[in-house]
Amino acid sequence: MTIRTLDIGLPAGYRPQDALAFHGRDAEGAAEQVDGPSIRKGVLLDGVTVELRIALDAGQARCSIDMASDTAGDENHDGAVLPQAHAALRNMLGLRIDPAPFEAAVRDDPLFGPVVRRTPGLRVIQSATVFEALTWAIIGQQINLPFAIALRRSFIQQAGRRHPGGLWCYPEAPDVARLDIEQLTSRKFSRAKAETLLRLARLVAEGALRLDRDANENGNGDDDLAATAARLLAIKGIGPWTVNYALLRGYGDPDCSLHGDVAVRTAIGRLQGTAVRPDLAQAEAFLAAYRPHRTMAAAYLWASLGQPAA
């Protein structure tokens, strides 16, 4: 077992409640547990069971990376896992997208201005890995949140492995690729969801599809993300909403258009003072006005649903 510690500085006005709420969605705490200002998360990284711990303190996050494996402690292996763990911690804290540019851009906006003033500094919290974000998007699409969380828990327990600390670790593509479809459909997955999950996992496990962040960050930024989106859209069962959600929760793309999200469209109608939910084309046109900050626009639209109507 290898434990590494690090402190990550948090920006002024950081909202710990955003990270705590996102990672505390599963009340049974299979792969994530939230206790006061602390988060524990299990995830498989390069085949190693890893427990990530975050204690949110004034102005900083005190973090630890607990690697449990026969190969943990090996310098070469640690060199592969530790950078992924550091990236996962930044994702989990929502540090990829700075909300300040959007907030400045909409300061005088009649629709978003009041929403931002009620919830300043809102953060887009991400999944630990891109694969987690994409599989969660597939699992959760077009079903209610409690059922989606239950399916996700079952998925983790079927494909993941336990860390010695007790948490289940969210699986990687090779772990999912080893499943057969009946293992999923027998746990209330629709056949379509099961087939899409297995199709994606096998493409990634075989090297036909790369999801790692470095494959995008070492290139041309937006062009690489556009190429990734195109490759994902070519996979049967993956549509625009799934891709945009994965870009948001996985890569931290600041300009995702979530016009296909029902809650986003509901919030747009509510902000516009109408009981009519805009259609896809109308929602897309509405969000286009907030380029290149459409991700934060979606985040504030989600937040507005929990605020009193104007």
Model confidence at 51: pLDDT above 90: yes
Superfamily of domain 2-96: DNA-3-methyladenine glycosylase AlkA, N-terminal domain (3.30.310.20)
Helices (H) and strands (E) in the chain, counts: 15, 7
Work out the pLDDT band at 21, boundaries 50, 70, 90.
Answer: very high
Work out the average pLDDT over 20-49.
96
Cβ atoms 241, 261 nearer than 8 A = yes
Q: What does the alpha-carbon distance between residue 111 and residue 271 come to, in Å, rounded to a whole number?
A: 6
Percent of the chain clearing pLDDT 90 (strictly above): 85
Other Cβ atoms within 10 Å of 110 Cβ, number: 9
Largest CA distance in the chain: 60
Cβ atoms 65, 52 nearer than 8 A = yes
Q: Which of 63-77, 203-217, 250-264 has the highest mean pLDDT?
A: 250-264
pLDDT given at position 74: 56
121 secondary structure, DSSP code: T
**What residues contact 23, with CB distance under 8 A and at least 6 apart?**
32, 34, 39, 41, 92, 125
pLDDT given at position 68: 85
Work out the pLDDT band at 72, boundaries 50, 70, 90.
Answer: very low
Work out the pLDDT band at 214, boundaries 50, 70, 90.
Answer: low
pLDDT of 74-88, one tens digit each? 555 678 899 999 999
Q: What does the alpha-carbon distance between residue 112 and residue 270 come to, in Å, rounded to a whole number?
A: 12
Model confidence at 232: pLDDT above 50: yes
Check residues 73 and 27 and name the one with the higher pLDDT.
Answer: 27
Q: What does the alpha-carbon distance between residue 105 and residue 157 come to, in Å, rounded to a whole number?
A: 43
Work out the average pLDDT over 261-279.
93
pLDDT given at position 310: 58
Model confidence at 175: pLDDT above 50: yes
Model confidence at 69: pLDDT above 70: no
Work out the pLDDT band at 274, boundaries 50, 70, 90.
Answer: confident
54: nearest Cα among 19, 29, 84, 30: 19
pLDDT of 119-157, one tens digit each? 999 999 999 999 999 999 999 988 899 999 999 999 999
Q: What are phi and psi of 181, to 5 degrees?
A: -65, -30
Work out the pLDDT band at 161, boundaries 50, 70, 90.
Answer: very high
0.85 cut: is pTM over it? yes
Q: What does the alpha-carbon distance between residue 225 and residue 105 come to, in Å, rounded to a whole number?
A: 24
Work out the pLDDT band at 165, boundaries 50, 70, 90.
Answer: very high
pLDDT of 85-121, one tens digit each? 999 999 999 999 999 999 999 999 999 999 999 999 9
Q: 């994530």: which residue's tokens?
A: 32
Would you list the domain boundaries of the chain?
Answer: 2-96
Q: What does the alpha-carbon distance between residue 43 and residue 51 come to, in Å, rounded to a whole number?
A: 7
Model confidence at 219: pLDDT above 90: no
Q: What does the alpha-carbon distance between residue 191 and residue 180 come to, in Å, rounded to a whole number?
A: 11
Work out the pLDDT band at 218, boundaries 50, 70, 90.
Answer: very low
Which value, in Å, is the radius of gyration of the alpha carbons in the chain? 19
pLDDT given at position 240: 92
Work out the average pLDDT over 236-249.
94
pLDDT of 249-263, one tens digit each? 999 999 999 999 999
3-class DSSP state of 220 = coil
Bridge partners for 56 per DSSP? 61
